[in-house]
Amino acid sequence: MNYTNLQAVRADIQAGATNCQALVRQYLDRIEATKALNIYIEVFEEEALEQARQLDQKYQQNPESIGRLFGMVLSLKDVLCYKDHEVTAGSRILQGFKSLFSATAVQRLLEEDAIIIGRVNCDQFAMGSDNGNSYYGQTWNAADPERVPGGSSGGCAASVQAHTCLASIGSDTGGSVRQPAAFCGLVGMKPTYGRISRYGLLAYASSFDQIGTISHSVADAALLLEVMAGPDEFDATASHRPVDTYSPLPTLDRKVRIAYFEAALQHEQIDESIRELSMDFIEKLRSDGHSVEAVPFDLLDYIIPAYYVLTTAEASSNLSRYDGIRFGYRQREAADLSETYKKSRTEGFSPEVKRRIMLGTFVLSAGYYDAYYTKAQKVRRLIHQRTNEIFEEYDFILMPATPGVAWKGGDKSNDPVEMYLADIFTVQANMAGIPAVCIPLGEGTANMPVGIQIMGQAFKEQEMLCFARHYGPDQGQSA
């Protein structure tokens, strides 16, 4: 049976129809059957089975002692530290590196009896939109193995889509859980910046990065958020605001006000099928009594340029630690220290990572800092300000998750700008630091999945997820 929510898993375990060991074996069989999709970098087979055996024993001895995630089998994006396991960010530069600790989010998942079945492929250092920028090769979309699953958390999305796990933990810097969720017909959720500790998440752009989830179910996304959220002494950017009870989510019991951008739905990049599905969804919301109005937003075309100036600047700093000396890959034939640095980084990083490091270094350099970095920061402030102004009148902002459906492998590889524009609708939430969730909307061009994105006010994930659950794949299920 292909489970799509933890509630169904728990019901079958309670009825004696399955147990954790049987679940893990089922998922391991699916991993083997879908090897051609190149989803997993490493499978923790023996470890997951042993963990499942211990959890089954714990349940038999005292069913009341189990954690909130008992029965939840997860995959981890290869940017999250898991003690005594390799973590490489999909890059050669960290080849063979084993983490000495677990990320705070990962530790909290384990403490609630989640089972981690393996680490999955991703674009190197979370830099990419199709999972083609990985040292381990391209991951493919289970709906059409000639098409990409999105990125950078493409392996996360494909692992859930192919039923090799129940949910996956990824990271979202500019849409990296929501865009692949849309491409794979899943729920992708990015919380407010600071809601989940980033301790143990390999950094791309520290003021944008946030751990997120990909699942079949909004209810599962809410539960995972509840487990991972909260302050952390190891991360000064983690918020100390109280964590809401996200699970079980309350029923949507009121009519809401929703804004959308006409500029987005009429954008030259948008696929006609996505425009039509989005407009149909808007009409559905109106027929249900919600207020849905177009609002002006003249900053849409400035989002991507500002985002790539700021994130590459942060990346040039964050990635300077990978020097071939302290850990990971080292070029052994270098003649001296300087050559070791140059050759190790040249051979260890992909062309796309090197492109972003060089761009970031350029925009921070003397003579160009004010022209690019300072202006991009001003644009970010304006985007944040305008977004908050909209939330003074509306509960949510509605936006297509992507301008197009998943493309065929290699279609955008030779045009970085076209690849960057694939994130045009998801980057706003990261620029403003607000939560956003993508839910499936149907099928578009080439019968490929399409998603719609709901953005909420900072730290109001409960309201956002409650609305998403009402219109997402959970509708009709009990809380």
Whether 77 is catalytic is: yes
Catalytic, 58? Answer no
CB 161, CB 187: distance < 8 Å: no
Active site residue 478: no
The amino acid sitting at 266 is Q
Q: Which residue has the tokens 């909209």?
A: 390
Angle at 387 between CA 384 and CA 393, to 5 degrees: 145
Task: Name the packing angle between helices 218-228 and 104-111 (round to 10°).
Answer: 110
Distances (CA, A) of 402 to 71, 163, 174, 272, 439: 32, 23, 12, 12, 12
Q: What is the SS3 assignment for 436?
A: strand
CA Rg value for the chain: 21
Q: Which two tokens stand for residue 463?
A: 């309201």
Question: Which member of 75, 77, 278, 412 is catalytic?
Answer: 77
Please name the residue that has the structure tokens 């609305």. 467
Q: Are 443 and 204 in contact (CB under 8 A)?
A: no
Catalytic residue chosen out of the listed positions 152, 215, 278, 316:
152
Handedness of CA 206, 365, 385, 468 (dihedral sign): negative
Compute the distance between CA of residue 316 and CA of residue 230 in angstroms, rounded to an integer.
29
For residues 115 and 73, is the Cβ–Cβ distance under 8 A?
yes
Whole-angstrom distance, CA of residue 275 vs CA of residue 135 = 35
By the 8 A CB rule, do 402 and 179 touch? yes
Q: Which of 75, 91, 129, 176 is catalytic?
A: 176
The DSSP result for 287-304, as a single string, is HTT-EEEEE--TTHHHHH
Q: Residues with catalytic annotation? A: 77, 152, 176
